[in-house]
Amino acid sequence: MQLHFTPEEMRLVADILLECAPDQEDLLQMFFAHKLRFDCEQLDRLGGIVTQYQRKITHDFAASGDQDLRESLRKRQLVLDRVAEHIQEASAMV
């Protein structure tokens, strides 16, 4: 399944993979090469990583009293929500 991300979404997913899942080399390589054709298993793994990161952002947001950090996390969450939606739609089509 081919996924289409905006440049902002691409950067965020690449950052998440580097930070949270550096062992997922195949996914990292796909993002760096802009070859976003995933099989079912890869979509499942990517969806799991994104979901885990959504939980982390939610926790960090709740734990932070810094308004600038909270605003940054909120913006990141909005982009991440779009990414999760793309992955869910693609998974439903597989």
Tokens 């439903």 correspond to 92
Condensed to tens digits (0 to 9), the pLDDT of residues 20-36 reads: 888 998 999 998 888 88
pLDDT digits (tens, 9 = 90+) for 38-66: 999 999 999 999 999 999 999 999 999 99
Q: Are 14 and 85 in contact (CB under 8 A)?
A: no
Class of residue 79 by CB neighbours under 10 A (exposed 0-12, middle 13-18, buried 19+): middle
- Compute the residue count for the chain: 94
**What is the predicted pLDDT for the residue at 73?**
95
Answer whether residue 12 shows pLDDT above 90: yes
